[in-house]
Structure 1
Amino acid sequence: MTRRRLLTGVGGAAAVVITAPSALAGLTACGSERQLICRHQRTQEVYASWPVETGAVVTHSWVHSIERSRWTDSYRVEADGLLLVRTEFQEYGAGMPLDEGVVTLEDGRVVITEIDRPFEAIRWIHSHRVDYRIGIDENTDLLDPLQLPDNEPVELRPA
């Protein structure tokens, strides 16, 4: 189903402008375990790290400030970086691309799959007000979001 077709069947969608920060990339030396690193974008201060393998799914989610519902981006760790493979949200609105991936409705939520867009790192300005969540595979709550600095640029990347 195309986004245009989905939009004609989904009434009452709030107008939203979103720029979803997204991505991961990098490998460590051969024989070393890869880590997903959560760090400050400018100072490189590391806040947390977790083991991650190629093929793992990294999720980054938050409560949208206008919709007041959870938005989740999912990335697959590839040998040469991260690939945005899925995004899920409650309402479809302004600012969303109309020509990327496959759009479906699942349990009343808009789900876009087969996006397959590579990223270097998942980047965002962290806020204590939007309940950010970081996950790897089935563990979707790896870090207390209040442990990260408020209103500071943060990123996730494998190393």
Structure 2
Amino acid sequence: MTPDSLSRRQLLTLTGSAAAAAALASLSLTGCSDRYKLRCQHQRTGEVYRELNIEIGSVITHSWIHSIELSRWTDIYRFDGETLMLTSTEFEAYGAGMPLDEGDVSVQDGQVVIENIDREFEAIRWIHSHRVDYRIGVDGDESLIDTDALPDLEPLELRPK
């Protein structure tokens, strides 16, 4: 068992608080927080277009212009260490094909917001299109993945590793 595979509690139990604090400090300095990645990749070929560092609790947003409503739809996920948990979704108009029976629905600043969805996904999958203004954000930064540089009309995914 290596220090980076132990939880904080296990480390404290095995080594005592002073040694644990020193070990945790050294893990922080060696980049242990970078061990989780979010990959933007092709669903079939696995070709990786971008890989980003994420942490437990990172918020990933995936948004686009809806083809019928012609307004932005945003799904918000939280990384839990293994999967992406869909926590909420936001859109302008509620219509056919919209979720009905999950989460708590409210209207905030003119947007329909469904919160407390809490549905797990191993990956976020979509057919990428340059015509719908896709945006991908990690912890509020939408500049990390240039969606215009991603291949058009191809099956892509965001997958934690």
| CA RMSD, 1 decimal | 1.3
Distance 2:83 2:104 in 1: 22
Q: For residues 1-159 of structure 1, what are the structure 2 equivalents within 5 Å?
A: 30=5, 31=32, 33-159=35-161
In structure 1, C-alpha distance between the alignment counterparts of 2:56 and 2:145, rounded to whole Å: 21
Q: Contact (CA 8 Å) 1:133, 1:142: kept in 2 or not? A: no
Percent identical among aligned pairs is: 61
Unaligned runs of 5+ in 2: 6-31
Once the two structures are superposed, residues 14-59 of structure 1 have per-residue CA deviations (whole angstroms, 9 ceiling, x without a partner) of xxxxxxxxxxxxxxx8456111000000000000011000001100
TM-score by length of 1: 0.79
Unpaired segments of 5 or more residues in structure 1? 1-28
Deviation at 1:141, TM superposition (A): 3.2
Question: Are the counterparts in 1 of residues 40 and 157 from structure 2 also a CA contact under 8 Å?
Answer: yes
Counterparts of 1:141 and 1:117, CA distance in 2: 26
User: Displacement of 1:118 after TM fit?
Assistant: 0.5
Greater C-alpha Rg: 2
- Structure 1 letter corresponding to 2:158: L
**Inter-partner Cα distance in structure 2 for 1:61 and 1:92:** 16
Is the CA contact 1:86–1:111 (under 8 Å) kept in the aligned structure 2? yes
Q: Which of 1 and 2 has higher RCO (CA within 8 Å, sep 6+)?
A: 1
Post-superposition offset of 1:79: 2.1
Report the 3-state secondary structure (helix = DSSP H, G, I; strand = E; otherwise coil) of the residue aligned with 2:46.
Answer: coil
Aligned equivalents of 2:99, 2:42: Cα separation in 1? 29
CA deviation after TM superposition for structure 1 residue 103, in Å: 0.4
Q: Which amino acid aligns with 1:77?
A: F
Contact between 1:70 and 1:89, CA under 8 Å: does it hold in 2?
yes
Find the aligned partners of 2:110 and 2:57 in 1 and give their Cα distance: 28
**What is the CA deviation profile of residues 50-90 of structure 1, one whole-angstrom value per residue up to 9, with x for unaligned ones?**
10000011000001111111100000000231110010000
